[in-house]
Amino acid sequence: MNILSLAEINTFYGVSHILFDVNMTVEKGSITGLLGRNGAGKTTTLRTIMGLTPPKSGSIRFKENEITGIPSYKIARKGIAYVPDDRQIFAPLSVYENLIIGIAGKNRKDGPIWNTGRIYELFPVLKGMAEKGGTQISGGEQKMLAIGRALMCDPDLLLLDEPTEGLAPLIVKTLAQKILEIGKRGLTILVADQNVNFAKNFIGYGYIIDKGCLEHHGPMEEIWNDKELVNRYLAL
């Protein structure tokens, strides 16, 4: 069953045509990848899904309901959480305060599934930094905090934009393990990233985007083993 589907999506920034007839589906319970180099259209695709950059044409359906043109805050309340590439941590607030902001967007009414205890269990390093300022921690820790804040909304779908950007290799490896763990708990995840070595560790199915067009899609193992495909669209 597909939780998200995009059909013939065309998105513009002003007069610049960025996404061209994008068609994509995300299966419920899956970890799906949107792969491509910088500037390929990954961030625009996530922003389009989230309603931050609405498409000029096409259809976006979430849990069988049309969400095209709906304001971003209403899309969030329907169960989609978005972690942007720049993290957007609130500097005046502590780590704990940044986390509990997510409670305001709780998706479910039958009690919390994610709370601070579960976030600290997933990211133990954050527990010891709970009273620190949100921007007084490292870039990797801020990424964990941003993901934790999104999870506090109890989403049905988590959008992660370039989670590895600017992070040390050891943190990247840890983050891959954590994303896989989140997925094993039943949350559907769509990850946009250019790091195919990172993505192959947890993504089950991948889409390759280049210059705003989807060029290929298939099981991640198939993509990884096609060296010509990787060199053409994903090699740095």
For 189-225, the pLDDT digits (tens) are 999 999 888 889 899 999 999 999 999 999 999 999 9
List the beta bridge partners of residue 63.
none
pLDDT score of 83 more than 70: yes
Q: What are phi and psi of 25, to 5 degrees?
A: -130, 150
Q: Tell me, yes or no, whether 4 and 51 share the same domain.
A: yes
Cα 18 to its chain centre, rounded Å, is 19
In a domain, 214, yes or no: yes
Tell me the mean pLDDT in the region 166-187. Answer: 89
Burial of 230 (0-12, 13-18, 19+ CB in 10 A): middle
- Domain edge (last residue) among 109, 134, 155: 155
Q: Tell me, yes or no, whether 64 and 122 share the same domain.
A: no
Confidence of residue 134 (pLDDT cuts 50, 70, 90): confident
User: In Å, how far are 29, 70, 82, 121, 218 from 110, measured between CA atoms?
Assistant: 20, 25, 22, 22, 36
If DSSP codes are grouped into helix, strand and coil, which group holds residue 8?
A: strand
Structurally, the chain folds into a number of domains equal to: 2
In a domain, 182, yes or no: no
Q: Which of 82, 75, 81 is nearest to 154 (CA)?
A: 81
Tell me the mean pLDDT in the region 78-103. Answer: 90
pLDDT attached to residue 109: 52
Distance CA 184, CA 72 (A): 27
Q: Tell me, yes or no, whether 121 and 162 share the same domain.
A: no
Q: Whole-number mean pLDDT of the chain?
A: 92
List the beta bridge partners of residue 189.
31, 158
Q: Tell me, yes or no, whether 66 and 49 share the same domain.
A: yes
Calculated CA dihedral for residues 7, 11, 16, 20, nearest 10 degrees: -10
The pTM (predicted TM-score) of the whole model is 0.94
Cα 138 to its chain centre, rounded Å, is 20
pLDDT attached to residue 110: 53
Distance CA 166, CA 57 (A): 34
In a domain, 178, yes or no: no
Enclosing domain of residue 112:
86-155
pLDDT score of 106 more than 80: no
